[in-house]
Chain A
Amino acid sequence: MTENTIYELSSPGRTGVTFPKPDVPEAKLPADLLRKDLPLPELAEVDVVRHFTNLSKYNYSVDGGFYPLGSCTMKYNPKINEETARLPGFVFTHPLQPIETVQGNLALMYQLQEWLKEISGFAAVTLQPAAGAHGELTGVLIMRAYHRLRGDARRVKMLIPDSAHGTNPASSAMSSLEVVQIPSDARGNVDLAALKAACDETVVGLMLTNPNTLGLFDEHVEQVIAAVHACGGLVYGDGANLNALLGIVRPGDLGFDLMHFNLHKTFSTPHGGGGPGSGPVGVSQKLANFLPSPLVGIVEEADGEQPALFGFVEPEHSIGRVKAFNGHFGMFVRAYTYIAMHGADGLRQIAEYAVLNANYVRARLDGAYTVPFDRTCMHEFVAEGQWAEAPGVRALDVAKRLMDYDFHPPTNYFPLIVHEALMIEPTETENKATLDAFADALLKIAEEARTQPELLKEAPHNTPFGRMDEVKAARELVLCCWLPNE
């Protein structure tokens, strides 16, 4: 079943592309600065096309089936997005062109900033961060800069609930902040008493995912935010789960000070096998001056016949630039297309149906799977992949067995506060028949766990590849094809 590597397919003398001969005189090459050999493969175009087409067939994808990966919002990626993002007027623009020649791009970015502000309730938005974790780093640096400008350098602690994504503590640590973990209470909320005890004049802020990674909307979210504000801290929202809130509630209205968006989760830009993402950050008025520079703004107001001129502006106390150029522009085009097609009502429906789908699957699994914090969930919920009657079976086995039923497994072993966690996020784009088939498969697997546990332990059976020897991979560390003529 395996596909040879691109190097194994290589045959000396082949090439997939040739270029025109130089139409200028050849210059003398700098002999002492030339490389001795260029160990790249040699293939014809058809070899390359077949190779990557064959590889693609080994992938599970949203286009191919249901992908209920918790925390990742694997919704359908509309095809029109791919068309608009490839319009020549967008694709063939250089990031450093004079602003007068890219008013279309800048208008799109400006409008997207405005829409994200409206959707989230924040006063200003930067589109620059490249992904969610990058947005978090941006947010942490903004929080740090805010306190420092106020002369408040004592603040060195970041409060992070135990249910948080790993990127939250890692982003804080990149700014040398000390991470203080806050436990969850019995209903899956932030433990308010523990939070209050941790709030003091050394706190930079709290990084809060709401709904949290259990899929639960914090029942005391306003008290949580008030407690942090009372000690002078800021509240950062991890926007990974924004899909549940579109048109339902605006984080800015709840009192969050800043938040990142994941355009690749909430706004349908494709995940691309692990990226590119896009992680704009929204902030309240008091943090607007700290955003990364540059932002897109109106540099000359419209007058009479002349339309407004869009350009770049630098926030006064900007933390600086977080990457080169203007952010993941291709993702902005896709997200713009998506928001334009939904409007206010459409966005609210996204959240409503995402939440309905999650609660429906949760209801269908009732009795067969333990859901540790069992109340109305938002866009996802966490079940346990373990049963007292099936002692050897683990969440991993359930996940692998699901592949035999042609479903992508849920996120497993996260959040860390649930044993043998299976984190299920159906998204709004799945219909009832798909959800029923998925729930039926999970119910069957729960039964198999008791009656034929070996079926789960050895799963998957029907996929082109079986379970992997991860120890061998990590111990032998073969990270590269054999390269010719090294």
Chain B
Amino acid sequence: MTYIPHSLKERDAMLAAVGVKSLEDLFKDVPAEHRFPKLNLPPALTEMEAAAELGELSIGNENIRTDLVSFLGAGAYNHYIPAAVDALLRRGEFYTAYTPYQPEISQGTLQAIFEYQSLISALTGMEVSNASHYDGATAVAEAANLAYAQFRGKRTKVVLSPAVNPQYRATLRTYVQGMSLELAGDDAKANLDAGPEVLEGLIDETTALVIVQYPDFFGRIYDYTKLIEAAHAKGALVCAAANPTALGLLKTPGEMGADIVVGEGQPLGIPLSYGGPYLGFFATRKQYLHKMAGRLVGETVDSRGQRAYVLTLTAREQHIKRERATSNICTNQGLMALASAIYLSLLGKSGFRQVAELCYHKAHYAAGKIAKVKGYSLCFEAPFFHEFSVCCPKPVEEINDHLLEHGFLGGYDLGQDYPSLKDHLLVAVTEMNTKDEIDAMVDVLAEVAHD
């Protein structure tokens, strides 16, 4: 099955107009010995057959809607997505449009991004947001790019909290391998029990950027105001990678003085979908606007005097600035940014706060119950939001296997990234988890401890 509409008669008329005899004749520039390879692919399917084959593959998974109850987070969270989000995303006018380079016929996308920027600014407490990055990890890497460009390469150190998501830190390391930036602070010896103040000693006049996570990877909430003051005293910028759901309840990094706030936007109405596509949000202060990568939508008027929106400050970007651009980024996560704008608009001021509170209360209920089970304890004393670290009496793998047998997707094994956190389980609880589910999961934990 193809989507090629030509009849044979039309094809022949077109070949004649071009002045060739056959389709093959169009490819004479291609080296003859490599032309028309025989591809070893399975025979073409009809739509009906493809639907069946994909359906078959999809049930080869155990999913967290019908098969498993999830307590897994670690950077991707199971939240309720109101039906209206996908109903609107499925409008072909949105999902089959391209980047809004022609503003006269792209006002839908442009205004939606403008509203997305506004909602992200509101959530993070920052002055400006761009039109988005690929995901939370690459948004962190782009923060390093911004800082590197801001200091024109003269500051070469990035102080990185060990409590930033290990995958974000790995991504950052990949990005900077060709740049003269050194990363400090997240080596194996790092003290994971300590608060953010331990990072202060690492900040000096060569520091371009300090990166923290809020709440951090272990779920802890810290007020970074003092750390940010210390960084500013040395002239360094500070980036906080924030969980957007937590920002429904908690003090914003903007309020603490952060210069850049980024994060994974997946919790804002985007399905888990095995890791993507997600959304990297990126917000900063106006003074760093020109060094910020990515697309940006601004308000203006059209020739008829109507309020309208355009991509603005485009000369910062790679298609004009080429090798002198801050980043090579070209696309944004347009449709995902739209999803989050719809989600935040639907939930609004009260609904979004309600989700944040539900996550908070349910996580604290779960933590309280787990801490009462013999052999288990909460690893850290700091306040937490919807995720917390549990010290377990047995290897996490064993506990998770047991949970899985009982239909629970257990938490994240922190030992795989932090050797000093062997037998530490990171548990996430959201509004999707009922009290009964939590109670049943805790019962299984108790059972494993006694085995």
Contact = CB atoms under 8 A, between A and B. Distances in A.
B64 A249 contact: no
A108 B57 contact: yes
B50 A337 contact: yes
Contacts of B66: 88, 92
Contacts of A470: 300, 310, 312
B194 interface: no
A274 B279 CA distance: 13
A349 B6 CA distance: 11
Contacts, number: 697
Interface stretch (B93-101, B183-191, B195-203, B232-240): B93-101
Interface string A300-331: 00000000000000000001111111111111
Nearest to B313: A474
A463 interface: yes
Interface string A416-459: 00000000000011111000000000000000000000000010
A261 B385 CA distance: 40
B59 A104 contact: yes
Interface string A89-127: 111111111100111110110000001001101000000
Contacts of A388: none
A141 B383 contact: no
A57 interface: yes
B230 interface: no
A429 B4 contact: yes
Given A55-B111, A137-B175, A355-B26, 7 more contacts: A89-B60, A95-B274, A216-B29, A320-B177, A341-B50, A357-B14, A463-B104
Interface stretch (A36-44, A194-202, A228-236): A36-44
Contacts of B171: 320-324
A466 interface: yes
A478 B274 contact: no
A281 interface: no
B18 A363 contact: yes
25 contacts: A2-B308, A15-B351, A24-B362, A25-B365, A27-B360, A42-B348, A53-B91, A88-B66, A92-B64, A92-B66, A97-B72, A101-B61, A166-B321, A174-B178, A271-B97, A272-B335, A275-B332, A340-B42, A345-B44, A465-B302, A468-B104, A474-B298, A474-B313, A480-B114, A481-B115
Nearest to A80: B47
Contacts of A140: 178
Contacts of A333: 54
Q: Which of B10, B60, B168, B177 has the most CB of A within 10 A?
A: B60
A58 B345 CA distance: 19
Contacts of A337: 50, 54
Q: Which of A115, A376, A466, A480 has the most CB of B within 10 A?
A: A480
Interface stretch (B75-83, B155-163, B441-449): B75-83
Contact of A173 (B41, B93, B323): B323
Nearest to B153: A176
Given A107-B57, A133-B328, A480-B129, A72 B44 contact: no
B287 to A, nearest CB: 12
Interface in B281-303: 286, 289, 295-303
Contacts of A26: 357, 361
A23 to B, nearest CB: 4
B208 interface: no
Given A141-B178, A222-B31, A403-B104, A77 B96 contact: yes
Contact of B68 (A101, A131, A323, A431): A101
The SS class assigned to the A binding surface is: loop
B341 interface: yes
A274 B98 contact: yes
Given A275-B334, A480-B117, A463 B105 contact: yes
Contacts of B255: 35-36
Interface in B28-47: 28-31, 34-47
A170 interface: yes
Nearest to A76: B3
A15 B350 contact: yes
B364 A248 contact: no
B267 interface: no
Given A59-B97, A273-B334, A118 B72 contact: no
A350 B31 CA distance: 19
Contacts of B438: 24
Contacts of A363: 17-19
Contacts of A460: 104-105
Contact of B114 (A36, A350, A432, A481): A481
Contacts of B88: 48-49, 52-53, 56
Contacts of B50: 80, 84, 337, 340-341
Contact of A59 (B68, B107, B310, B362): B107
Contacts of B174: 141, 292, 319-322
Given A22-B361, A40-B122, A342 B102 contact: no
A366 to B, nearest CB: 10
A227 to B, nearest CB: 15
Contacts of B360: 27, 29
A7 B121 CA distance: 13
Contacts of B5: 429-431
B165 interface: yes
B261 interface: no
A347 to B, nearest CB: 7
Contact of A270 (B63, B64, B96): B96
Nearest to B353: A38
